[in-house]
A and B are shown apart, each in its own frame.
Chain A
Amino acid sequence: MKAWRTALTALLCAGLALALGAAMLALPGFAVRLPGQVAANLDDSGVAHPVTAVLLNFRGYDTLLEVAVLLLALLGVFALSLHGSGHARPSAPAHPVLQTLARLLAPLMVLVAGYLLWIGAHAPGGAFQAGAVLAAAGVLLRLAGLLPAWAQPGRLLRGGLALGLLVFLAVAAAALAQGSLLQYPLAYAGPLILLVEAGLTLSIGLTLAGLYLASAGWRQ
Chain B
Amino acid sequence: MSAALLYALTGAALFAIGLAGLLLQPHLLRKILAFNILGSGVFLILVGLGQRDGTIDPVPQAMVLTGIVVAIAATALALALARQLLDLTGQMRLPEDRSDAEPVDD
B87 touches A21 (CB 8 A): no
Contacts of A76 in B (CB 8 A): 77, 80
Residues 2-32 of A at the B interface (beta carbon under 8 Å): 6, 9-10, 13-14, 16-17, 20-21, 24-25, 27, 29-30
Q: Out of A17, A29, A85, A220, name the residue touching B12 (CB < 8 Å).
A: A17
Judged by a CB distance under 8 angstroms, whether A66 is at the interface is yes
Judged by a CB distance under 8 angstroms, whether B33 is at the interface is no
Interface residues on B, range: 35 or more
Q: Out of B17, B69, B80, name the residue touching A80 (CB < 8 Å).
A: B80
B70 touches A66 (CB 8 A): yes
Contacts of B92 in A (CB 8 A): none
Among listed A48-56, A110-118, A140-148, interface-contacting one: A48-56
Contacts of B63 in A (CB 8 A): 59, 62
Contacts of A207 in B (CB 8 A): 73
- When C-beta atoms are compared, the residue in chain B nearest to A77 turns out to be B80
Residues 51-84 of B at the A interface (beta carbon under 8 Å): 52-53, 55-59, 61-63, 65-66, 68-70, 72-74, 76-77, 79-81, 83-84
B72 touches A211 (CB 8 A): yes
Residues 30-46 of A at the B interface (beta carbon under 8 Å): 30, 34-35, 38
A19 to B66, CA, bound (A): 27
A128 to B55, CA, bound (A): 24
B61 touches A51 (CB 8 A): yes
A211 to B72, CA, bound (A): 9
Contacts of A83 in B (CB 8 A): 84
B20 touches A9 (CB 8 A): yes
A77 to B58, CA, bound (A): 32
Majority secondary structure of chain B interface residues (helix, strand, loop or mixed): helix
A51 to B15, CA, bound (A): 25
A20 touches B70 (CB 8 A): no
- When C-beta atoms are compared, the residue in chain A nearest to B23 turns out to be A9
Contacts of B28 in A (CB 8 A): none
B79 touches A215 (CB 8 A): yes
B58 touches A24 (CB 8 A): no
The residue in A17, A58, A81 that gathers the most chain B C-beta atoms within 10 A of its C-beta is A17
A208 to B58, CA, bound (A): 24
B56 touches A35 (CB 8 A): yes
**Beyond A20-B16, A66-B69, 7 extra complex contacts between A and B, CB < 8 Å:** A9-B24, A16-B15, A20-B45, A55-B65, A66-B70, A81-B80, A207-B73
Q: Could you write out 12 A-B pairs with CB less than 8 Å apart?
A: A24-B52, A27-B49, A35-B55, A51-B58, A54-B62, A62-B63, A69-B70, A80-B80, A204-B69, A208-B72, A215-B79, A220-B87
